[in-house]
Amino acid sequence: MANIVCECGHINPIGTHLCAKCGRPLSEEEKSKKIADMRYDGTAIRSKTYKKTFIDHIWNFFSSVKVGVSLIIITLVMAALGTFLPQVMYVSVPLGMTEADVYEEKYGLFGKLYYTLGFSDIYSSPWFQIIVGMLAISIIIASFDRGIPLYKSLKNQRVRRHESFMKRQRIYGEEAMDEVQAAEVFDKAQEKMKALKYKVRREEDVLLAEKGRFARWGPYINHIGLIIFILGVMLRLMPGFYLDKTMWIREGETAAIPGIEGYYIHNNKFIFETYGDSDEKVEASQKAADAINSKAKNYQTDVTLYSDKVDGKSLAGNTDDLEKIKDYSIQVNKPLKYDGFALYQMDFRQNELKSMKFDLVNKKEGKSLGQITVNLDDPAKKYEISKDIYIELKSYYADFSGFEEGVPQSASPIPNNPAFIFTMFTPEVPKGETSFVAIKQTLEPLGTTKYQMKFNSVETRNASNFTVRQDKTLPLLLIGGIIFMIGVTISSYFSHRRIWLQYTKDGRLLLASHVNKNWFGMKKDLDSIVSYAKLPPYIDQVDEDNKKKELDNKEDGDNT
Amino acid sequence: MNKKKRRLAIRSIILAILIAAIAYTVYVTATKDTNQLIKVGDQAPNFVLTDLDGKKHQLADYKGQGVLLNFWGTWCPPCKEEMPALNTAYDEFKNQGVQVISINIAQSDFEVRNFVDNYKLNFPMTIDKTKSVMRTYNVDQLPATFLIDQTGKIKKILTYGITEPEFIAYMESIKP
Amino acid sequence: MNLLDLSGTLLFIAFIVYLVATLFFGGAIKHTQKDVSTSNKKWGTIAIYITVLGFISNLGYFITRWIYSGHAPISNMFEFSTAFGMFIVGAFILIYFIYRVPSLGVFALPVAIIIIAFASMFPREVSPLIPALKSYWLTIHVITTVIGEAILAISAFAGLVLLLKHVNMKVRSKERFWLEGVMYTLVIVIGFVLATSIFSMAKYEAEFTYVDKEKNAATIVYTMPALFGMNDHKLLTEDRMEPLVDMPPIVNAKKLTTVAWSFIFGTLLYLLLRLILRKPLAEKLQPLVKNANSQLMDEIGYRAVLIGFPVFTLGALIFAMIWAQEAWSRFWGWDPKEVWALITWLFYAAFLHLRLSKGWEGKKSAWLAVIGFAIIMFNFVAVNLIIAGLHSYAG
């Protein structure tokens, strides 16, 4: 592999644009340019220096910024495609229907096509993940290939540069002066540069002032942040890092928190408030006031958190002596956080049945012998009104769904539609008579009865739905985010400024300057140094080009 | 030359690691088996529950015996169907070192007692009022039957209604 | 006068002051005489001070409304749009004090004015916050995002100045077409403001019953003559126009009608302007920018992205994720608004890479800045009003 030997004798790796030592242009491409290409300070981008094996080809592919930008654009387009219709996770699929049906029914042919093409779940599709993954590889490799040579080059940069390097900087000026004058100019310039917080290196007849080199590391720092973030996102797929569970809990219940060992939650009360509940002033029209009054103000569950841990050890089912940890009101935006997990108020169900009151009534006279209350959570075997008036509960079906071969069935353990088989003992019928009681129906399977259990009233309660979340990747994501922000701040708000001075043997003082961004700020610095130290007046070679063009178009250039 | 070889090696390794990471991500997302906390071969988590007679059953106490855990509810038809079979199998194996613990999911004492009386069940019947054991065992489908061997390892997890010959075969397999 | 009225008055004052300031900025760049620089500077200085006055009044609106409602006024379409307009002016003032270029004001201020006018077409009542919005993160996340977007918008204005200067409007080309397209789009927004104001002044209201996509019966009140009818609609109000075209249930025909009227009014206005000016609008604006320094405009465009990008990242992604984790239990949920924030971010990331590594400067970079602004506006208008998602309560 041939290296390039510069006229000054320095050996540069192949692909170098500007000699690392003196700054002479080396590549043909570079020589043809009027102004030096200072990106990466003219170093050879590593991947471009070697082209041999298959691995190198892959490496070069990912190292290319063109490929990186293409990947960004592909990600962007795929992300946009996913927003045309709601994603599957936001679509509720009724029982007996498939996701495809829902899309077709709601959005017609377009919906069907959208679903078939996989756009309805695009973000978890392999394609999307592969593209983002390739983007991550591109970020890593491109940073390697550019960051390392740039670091070396800036670390080893010489104060003395070849005149051709100076002349080919965007900002350049020269003036003839004698040696004594030049020395004075150097001194004053150095003084001013130091006042402006430049680091100045001076060697006899050359000088390099530099400020904010760290700004060049900004892009690499933010890339590191991004990679840490993406790593965090990938880590959540590993077992144990990420927990996503949901639980329903009724008022008065205590339940284990799913996925979180050793912790229990007790629902004391669920509160739903609208703005109409309070007497906050509403001054607009009545119509507006009504709309506001019915607007939700608060969803809240008052809970108590318990732990069953004894000496740090937990035993499932051991609920005899739960230790209270704390009371908390879980609201939207105010999750209960403890020991790395969090509970979020997500949903609620109001007015679930809690208990039912029945009157024992003589059918003919309509007279009540007394009242019983059946706690649907914990029904009793026997309800006594007096010594010879009592009711025995034979069977209880929480969610009565009909008969199967004559046997009543319950569809779920939730008391949505409670049904009972009671046997009523009264002085009139001391051997008892049996009746099947459900909401809106009463059956007397063992013959007509004299008495009946007449429904009186219900007591209800609410249920809350929580999302249980444990995400151990959050610290990593946060660190990634912070590093990214540091990097992006450095690269955006700071610039790397350099000024070169040189007094040539034939008695000219050369001034050149480069900044990676914010030329406006650079010129401000320069102006103050130039006027203080009487440096040669400089020109912006790019701007001059424009001015020439403008003159060609016969327009006045007055720099508004 | 040596330098070139080293560079090639480093590049190959970095690329391999990165591509493997992507492949893993895609694979895990596609199969979605991320949160399977309890699986066959694991040590069965210890628990304690009280049965209808007031007796405490702690799994650790049965070390050295096979244990069959059966999670169920009265509203679940296959759970009800397998109960008589389980009862028969229990009677056969209770003196051969295989214990059965049946765990009802948070229903009322009345319903469970009624059910046990109707089906004349002999094995210990517990109620997991707080769903703590159910959640520890990551049960989301009923019936669920866990077979635990004498060392306390989970041998099998079954999530369908089981017949009598099957029960007998499975209990045979965890006999100490 | 209560605080709310005061707040409204302050906003109105700001609106008028911005209009005046625009004229002064026009004055600052219009001179063609020889010794313009001092006169220019004077006009520019007057213009910027007027702008600052307007901005103070605008801030006054923001603060008084905040005090009155008890929460930062960024919780619905009116408040959010107004804040966006206000921060565009703020970002412009910031950039002006760095670079002192009046020609930027000729674009930044009118766009801010149009956005504030657009905002006032939405209901302006103060409404209390729903539980999901009750968090100090609302203030932090939204304000940071809006400031970031406003600064990014400045790069589009710098880009427009550059494009107007360099696109030859006398020769038919793609660039000419698209540049005039940008002008046309701005006129359409004015068309929306016109249509809404005219019909609301005429107190047009027509009530319909219809069947929604969940197959429930519902009623809807049109405030513009119905061009498109909701699914299975029936007109209840007498003497009102029957819809011309019926729409399937997934289309919100009322919104479609509003869009259609905006286009009708906007296009008529555009044609009228073309008729009066006898030139494409972009060509008519060209003399305004002929003295602008392209190199400086290019740098301003780039610098605005540099300043705005970190602020946008912080507000629209990082703060957004922290809040989402707090409110919805996950920091990212692929909600359309989130996705479009990500798209905006990716777009500007591509912008920066193209500029840094591929040397996309001048016109190319200017076009990218204009497209970036279009994406921001799409996220802000279309995603709020058209695409349903968790964020759509912001409408």
The interface residues of chain A toward chain B in range 65-124, judged by CB-CB distance below 8 A, are 124
Per-residue confidence at A282, pLDDT binned at 50, 70, 90? very low
pLDDT, residue A335, reads 92
Is the predicted pLDDT of residue C253 greater than 90, yes or no?
A: no
Numbers of helices and strands, H then E, in chain B? 5, 7
DSSP state for residue B62 in the 8-state scheme: G
Confidence (pLDDT) at A557:
36
**In this predicted structure, what is the pLDDT of residue B35?**
52
Does pLDDT of A223 surpass 90?
A: yes
Q: Do B19 and B81 belong to one domain? A: no
pLDDT at B1: 55
Domain CATH code at residue B131: 3.40.30.10
A194 C-beta neighbours (distance < 10 Å), count: 12
At residue A284, the pLDDT reads 47
Q: Which residues of chain C are within 8 Å of residue A106 when distances are taken between CB atoms?
A: 213, 250
B43 touches chain A (CB under 8 A): no
Mean pLDDT of C60-71: 92
- Residues A219-258: b if buried by 16+ CB within 10 A, e if exposed: bbbbbbbbbbbbebbbebbeeebbbebebbbbbebbbbbb
Residue B155 burial class via C-beta count within 10 angstroms: exposed 0-12, middle 13-18, buried 19 and up: middle
How distant is the Cα of B167 from the closest Cα of chain A, in angstroms?
26
Beta-carbon separation of B108 and A243 below 8 A: no
- Interchain pair A136, B18: CB under 8 A: yes
Question: Between B12, B48, B136, which is nearest A261 by CB?
Answer: B136
Least confident stretch, A88-102, C108-122, C187-201: A88-102
Q: Tell me whether residues A412 and B75 touch, CB distance under 8 A.
A: yes
Chain B residues near residue A50 by CB distance under 8 angstroms: 4, 7
B47 touches A: beta carbon within 8 Å? yes
Chain B partners within 8 Å of A264 (Cβ): 130, 132
Touching B (3+ Cβ pairs <8 A), the chains are A
pLDDT for position A292 = 63
Q: What are A28's two structure tokens?
A: 């043909």
Pairing mode of beta strands A199-203, A171-176: unpaired
Residue partners of A6: CB distance under 8 A and separation at least 6 = A12, A19, A21, A22, A24, A26
pLDDT band at C217 (very low <50, low <70, confident <90, very high): confident
A460-518 pLDDT, tens digit per residue, is 999 999 999 988 899 999 999 999 999 999 999 999 999 999 988 888 999 999 998 88
**Alpha-carbon span B72 to B78, nearest angstrom:** 9
| The token pair that represents C297 in the structure block | 């405009």
C150: left (phi over 0), alpha (psi -120 to 50) or beta: alpha
What pLDDT sits at residue A290? Answer: 63
The minimal CB distance from B48 to the residues A55, A244, A317 is found for A317
Q: Are residues B26 and B63 in the same domain?
A: no
Answer yes or no: are the C-beta atoms of C186 and C112 closer than 8 Å: no
Q: Quote the pLDDT of residue C150.
A: 96
A:16-35 residues touching chain C, CB 8 A cutoff: none
| CA–CA dist C334, C328 (Å, integer) | 12
Q: Cβ contact (<8 Å) for C101 and A299?
A: no
Mean pLDDT of A247-266: 89
Q: Is the Cβ–Cβ distance between B127 and B109 less than 8 Å?
A: yes
Judge if B77 and B112 occupy the same domain: yes
pLDDT for the residue numbered C366: 93
**How far apart, in Å, are the Cα atoms of A467 and each of A247, A249, A342, A343, A414?**
6, 11, 8, 6, 20
Residues of C in contact with A474 (CB under 8 A): 325, 331
- Mean pLDDT value across chain A: 85
pLDDT at A287: 55
Provide the token pair at A162: 């070849």
Q: Which of C65, C76, C137, C295 has the highest number of chain A CBs within 10 A, making it the mutation to test binding with A?
A: C295
Average pLDDT over residues C51-57: 96
User: Is the per-residue pLDDT at C37 higher than 70?
Assistant: no
What average pLDDT does the segment A535-553 reach? 66
Report chain C residues whose CB lies below 8 A from the CB of A83.
336, 339-340, 383, 387
B136/A53 touch (CB, cutoff 8 Å), yes or no: no
Specify whether B2 is located in the same domain as B53: no
pLDDT > 50? residue A365? yes
Mutation pick from C39, C165, C334, C345 vs chain A, by most beta carbons of A within 10 Å, is: C334
The tally of domains found in chain B comes to 2
Disruptive mutation site among B51, B131, B137, B140 for chain A (greatest number of A CBs within 10 Å): B131
> Per the domain annotation, does B104 fall within a domain?
yes
Residue pLDDT, tens place only, C168-193: 888 888 889 999 999 999 999 999 99
- Residue in the block written with tokens 């809404």: C196
CB A46 within 8 A of CB A145: yes
Please judge whether B25 and A242 are an interchain contact, meaning their C-beta atoms are less than 8 angstroms apart: no
Q: What DSSP element (H or E) covers A385?
A: strand A382-386
Confidence bin at C394 (pLDDT 50/70/90): very low
Confidence (pLDDT) at C333 = 87
**Single-letter code of the amino acid located at C285:** L
Does residue A55 sit at the B interface (CB-CB below 8 Å)? yes
pLDDT tens, N- to C-terminus, chain B (176 residues): 577 778 788 888 888 888 888 888 888 777 765 455 677 888 888 888 888 888 888 888 888 888 888 998 888 888 888 888 888 888 888 888 888 899 999 888 898 988 888 888 888 899 988 898 888 888 888 888 998 988 888 888 888 888 888 888 888 888 87
**pLDDT single digits (tens) A144-203:** 888 888 888 888 888 888 888 888 888 998 888 888 888 888 888 999 999 999 999 988
Residue pair A361/A368 in contact (Cβ under 8 Å)? The answer is: yes
Mean pLDDT of A293-308: 86
Supply the DSSP symbol for C386.
T
B98: tokens are 């295989």
CB contact (8 A) between residue A518 and residue C303:
yes
Supply C266's token pair. 């906007």
CB atoms within 10 A of CB C263: 15
**Closest residue, chain B, to A50 (C-alpha):** B4
- Phi and psi, residue C61, nearest 5°: -55, -50
Smallest Cα distance from A140 to chain B, Å: 9
Order of strands across the sheet with C234-235?
Answer: C217-222, C206-211, C234-235
**pLDDT given at position C148:** 96
Q: Which of C32, C99, C306 sits opposite A517 (nearest CB)?
A: C306
Say if residue A101's pLDDT is above 70.
yes
Residues 354-393 (C) with a CB less than 8 A from some CB of A: 354, 356-358, 383, 387-389
pLDDT tens digits, C348-373: 999 999 988 777 888 899 999 999 99
| Count helices and strands in chain C by DSSP H and E runs | 13, 5
**A411: contact with B, CB 8 A cutoff:** yes
Q: What angle do CA C194, C195, C200 make, to 5 degrees?
A: 100
| Res B34: pLDDT | 47
Write out the two tokens for A22: 């003196």
Which token pair is C361?
């400067």
Residue B102 lies in a domain: yes
Say what the pLDDT of residue A11 is: 84
This model of the complex carries an ipTM of: 0.89
Residue C241 has phi, psi (to 5 degrees) of -70, 135
Please indicate whether chains C and B are in contact, defined as at least 3 beta carbon pairs under 8 Å: no
Lowest mean pLDDT among A52-66, A103-117, A184-198, A533-547: A533-547
> What is the span of the domain harbouring residue B21?
1-34
Query: C372 by DSSP, 3-state: which?
Result: helix
User: Which one of A100-104, A258-262, C108-112 scores highest in mean pLDDT?
Assistant: C108-112
Decide if A319 touches B, using CB distance below 8 A: yes
Query: Which residues, numbered 185 to 244 in chain A, qualify as contacts with chain B under a Cβ-Cβ cut-off of 8 Å?
Result: 234, 237-240, 242-244
- By Cβ distance, the residue of A59, A258, A413 closest to B135 is A258
pLDDT-based confidence at A277, cuts 50/70/90? Answer: low
B12 and B82 both lie in a single domain: no
| pLDDT-based confidence at residue C269 (cuts at 50, 70, 90) | very high
A544 contact C CB<8A: no
Q: How many CB atoms lie within 10 A of CB A170?
A: 21
Q: Cβ–Cβ of B35/A244 closer than 8 Å? A: yes
- Which residue of A58, A318, A398 is in closest CB contact with B15? A58
Residues of A in Cβ contact (< 8 Å) with B18: 133, 136-137, 140
Confidence of residue A10 (pLDDT cuts 50, 70, 90): confident
- As a whole number, mean pLDDT of residues A94-100 equals 80
Mean pLDDT to the nearest integer, A527-549: 78
Q: Judge if B59 and B90 occupy the same domain.
A: yes
- Residues with Cβ within 8 Å of residue C152, at least 6 apart in sequence: C304, C305, C308, C309, C312, C348, C372, C373, C376
Is B169 part of a structural domain of the chain?
yes
Q: Is A378 on the interface with B (CB under 8 A)?
A: yes
Flag whether pLDDT at A548 surpasses 70: no
Task: Determine how many CB atoms are found less than 10 A away from the CB of residue C369.
Answer: 29
**Which DSSP state fits C316?**
I
Question: Distance (Å) from the C-alpha of residue A72 to the closest C-alpha of chain C?
Answer: 6
Do B28 and B54 sit in the same domain of this protein? Answer: no
pLDDT at position A560: 35
Are A413 and B45 a contacting pair at CB < 8 A?
no
Contact list in A for residue C132 (CB cut-off 8 A) is 332-333
Which pLDDT value is given to residue A138? Answer: 94
A346 or A365, higher pLDDT: A346
- Contact partners, residue C191, CB within 8 Å, separation at least 6: C261, C262, C263, C264, C265, C266, C267, C268, C269, C270
Determine the residue of chain A that is closest to C123 in CA distance: A288
% chain C with pLDDT above 70 = 94
